[in-house]
Structure 1
Amino acid sequence: MNRSLHVILAMLTLCSGSIFAAEPCIHYAQEVKLSGYVEVRTFFGPPNYGENPKTDSRQVQSMLFLDEPVCATAAPNAAQYDEDERDQIEVTLRTESPSSALTSLAGKHVTVTGKLEHAETGHDNSKLILSSAKLIESTERKAILDALRPQAASQAGQAVRIKVDRLNISNEWAILVGEIVAPEGQKLDWSRAKDCDSDLDKMLWVILNKTTGQWRVKEMTICASEPPWWYFKDADLTLPCEVYAGLESVDENQRFDDLAARCRALKTNTTVTENRNKISP
Structure 2
Amino acid sequence: MMTENKRITHLYKLIITLLAFLTLYTGAVSAAERCLHYDKPVSLSGIVEIRVFFGPPNFGEDPETDSRNIQGILFLDKPICTVEEEFNDAEKEQIEVTLIPTGSLDLADFAGRHVTVNGSLSHAHSGHHNTALLLELAGTPKPDAKPNMPEPSKSERKLILDAIRPAAASEAGQAVLIKVDRLNVSHDWGVLIGKLVAADGGDLNWKLAKDCDADLDKMLWVVLNKSSKQWNVKQMDICSPEPPYWYLEDKDLTMPCEVYAGLNNGQKDLEERCRIHSNKPR
TM-score normalized by the length of structure 1: 0.46
Q: Which has the higher contact order (CA 8 A, sep 6+)?
A: 1
